[in-house]
Amino acid sequence: MAKLLLIRHGTTKLHANDRFWGKTDVPLSDIGIEQARQLQSRLALEKITAIFTSTLSRTRSTAEIIAAGHKVDIVACEELCECNFGYAEGLTFKEIEKLYPALAADLAGWKAASFPGGETFEQLAERVKTFLKRLEGFKSIDTVAIVSHGGPIRVLICVLLGIDIAHWQQIRIDRASLSILETYPQASIVTLLNDVSHLKS
């Protein structure tokens, strides 16, 4: 396939208190916009062939800033959207513990959670896996940027490396981070993981 630049969107206006924001369309904050600009500088010399993003504005805005200077279209994909947290959307973990103790226990135990009124982890994983079909036409000389969310990026890394998806929470993906995978027919190789060295306060 290709060289993949896996990029998590920048900080949003509602990231305070570590609330669960999944399907909610939260825009980037001023800090998030600046983080995206720093990503743009970091990737300025990359010969990006294509850019894929989720349909949510926080990833689209990040992708648009990164795309400046690259003559490439941005393709929005539902498959790359964050998990639908259902009734837990917008809650903190402490609030989930009070309202949905069984869900909180699964999350605390790193189990594959099922979010009431939203998606199961298995549904998220299967949805994200379908995105890989979009990469089949690319060659090893291509560089593809994928701007998404923490959950989908973790799933993609697990699938491409052949790691059991049950380990997804053991991969840290910070906001505005860059991870790079080189993909081949036989296997994929991680050359960079969760790098934020481009971010300056």
Which is nearest to 176 in space by CA: 9, 6, 4? 9
The answer to whether residue 95 is domain-embedded is yes
The answer to whether residue 201 is domain-embedded is no
CA distances for 167 relative to 23, 174, 200, angstroms: 23, 17, 30
The answer to whether residue 200 is domain-embedded is no
Residue 51 tokens read as 């850019």
The residue range of the domain holding 48 is 3-195
Residues in a beta bridge with 53: 76, 147
Number of domains, the chain: 1
The torsion angle over the Cα atoms of residues 47, 154, 152 and 138, rounded to 10 degrees, is 30
- 148, pLDDT greater than 80: yes
Query: How many angstroms separate the CA atoms of 39 and 161, rounded?
Result: 24
> What pTM value is reported for the model?
0.94
Query: Model confidence over 110-145: pLDDT tens digits?
Result: 777 889 999 998 999 999 999 999 999 899 899 999
The CATH number of the domain where 49 resides is what? Answer: 3.40.50.1240
CB 154 within 8 A of CB 125: no
Query: Model confidence over 152-190: pLDDT tens digits?
Result: 999 999 999 999 988 888 999 999 999 999 999 889 999
The answer to whether residue 188 is domain-embedded is yes
Mean pLDDT score of the chain? 93
